[in-house]
Amino acid sequence: MLIYSHPVCWKHVNENDVMLPHPERPERLDAVMAAIDRFPADRHTRVEAPLGDKSDYELAHDPRYVEAIFSQAPTGDDFQALRVDGDTSLNEYTIEASRRVVGAAKAAVDAVLPGPERRAFLATRPPGHHAGPCQPRGFCVFNNVSIAAYYAIRHHGLERVAIVDFDVHHGDGTEEIVANSEAVRFFSIFQHPYYPYAGIPPIADNCFPIGLPNMTDGKAFRQGVRDSVWFETLREFRPQLLLFSAGFDAHKNDPLGGWILEDEDFAWITREVIAAAGGDDLPVVSLLEGGYDLEGLEDSVLAHLKALDGDAG
């Protein structure tokens, strides 16, 4: 397995007056790297995330939005972060950090499609699944997973890409961007009703949401997936690439979610989705989204990595 990260991803900082310290904080990556340190060294390779290009964002975003974000971003001479959403900020490191996420996503796609590596995980931030075509939202500036999907389609000629989002918050930005795409199927399981108050009903036929209520536990979570059309649809679709929007804020200790999942539930959804989508030979790239309890994040990421690597649990 390939693990992508970069030191600048620790330097992006959200600042606002509502949540101090901000939940989407650099220490999240400390927890993720602690999980990676616990993952067997002979089963992964750490890779420095390369820089993505400004043009990469136009795969998923309006060029005018991309230009607006790049032009507004503070520079090293600024002392105050720029708030672009109620809980999302830009500081002097945000653009480079975001370019490292996108660069890692492209590099991971390039690596897993020909093999021999078939799995990659991005230990990067800022996250992306709330960012829409023209709008930052919910700690997210650019939609990393959508960029990865359209990069695979346009640069590798793929015809079938599946995105599976198990963050406790619906990936509304991803849904907006990929809606009605013939080449993408978007699967999202999330707390409902809850922020961002979207996803039910789906906005397009290629989107397959599962909305479950507050206090959903592992048993109900698994049953909700089994009762849905997910596995049947994945088997019929036969994706050439699977992308996870891997959010871990459904963990029982997370301050921003109302579900009570355990570490093993994240391993379960990872294993079951991969099995339905194509099994061991399927190329898979997982991108970090939410997860704000640091201990829960560490344990959940480790469970996810083991499942990505084929651990039967």
What are the two backbone dihedrals, phi and then psi, of residue 145, each rounded to the nearest 5 degrees? -70, -35
Using CA atoms, how far apart are residues 65 and 291, in angstroms rounded to an integer? 27
- Give the pLDDT score at 56: 98
Q: Is the predicted pLDDT of residue 230 greater than 70, yes or no?
A: yes
Q: How confident is the model at residue 313 (pLDDT cuts 50, 70, 90)?
A: low
φ, ψ of residue 14 in degrees (nearest 5):
-90, 135
Specify the residue for token string 């492209």.
106
Q: Tell me how many degrees the CA angle 93-98-101 measures, rounded to the nearest 5.
A: 130
The model's confidence at residue 41, banded by pLDDT at 50, 70 and 90, is very high
164 pLDDT above the threshold of 90: yes
pLDDT at 19: 56
The residues with which 83 forms a beta bridge, in sequence order, are: 89
The Cα angle at residue 130 between residues 126 and 131, in degrees rounded to 5: 75
Q: For residues 173 and 130, is the Cβ–Cβ distance under 8 A?
A: yes
Tokens of 40: 């067997």
Residue 122 CA to residue 232 CA, distance in Å, equals 28
Q: What is the pLDDT of residues 55-91, one digit of tens each?
A: 999 999 999 999 999 999 998 766 567 889 888 999 9
Token pair for 247: 């959010």
Query: Are the C-beta atoms of 87 and 99 separated by less than 8 Å?
Result: no
Q: Which range has the worst mean pLDDT, 8-17, 136-145, 288-297? A: 8-17
Q: Cis peptide before 21, with omega less than 30 degrees from 0?
A: yes
pLDDT at 17: 54
Amino acid 311: pLDDT: 83
Alpha helices in the chain (DSSP H): 27-38, 63-72, 94-112, 144-156, 172-178, 218-227, 230-237, 263-277, 294-308
pLDDT in tens, 135-162: 999 999 999 999 999 999 999 999 999 9
DSSP string computed for 145-174:
HHHHHHHHHHHH--S-EEEEE-SSS--HHH
Query: Given a cut of 70, is residue 312 above it in pLDDT?
Result: no
pLDDT of 49 reads 98
Q: Which domains does the chain show, CATH number per domain?
A: 2-308 (3.40.800.20)
Euclidean distance between CA atoms 306 and 270, whole angstroms: 9
Interior angle at CA 210, CA 139 and CA 199, nearest 5: 50
Share of the chain above pLDDT 70, in %: 97
Please return the burial class of 231, using the count of CB atoms within 10 Å of its CB with bins 0-12, 13-18 and 19+: middle
**What is the three-class DSSP state of 191?**
strand
Burial level of 20, CB count in 10 A (0-12/13-18/19+)?
exposed
pLDDT at site 81: 79
Rounded average pLDDT over 101-128: 97
The residues near 157 (Cβ < 8 Å, ≥ 6 apart) are: none
User: Which sign does the torsion angle of CA 202, 205, 209, 210 carry?
Assistant: positive
pLDDT at 115: 83
What is the pTM (predicted TM-score) of this model? Answer: 0.97
What's residue 214's pLDDT? 98
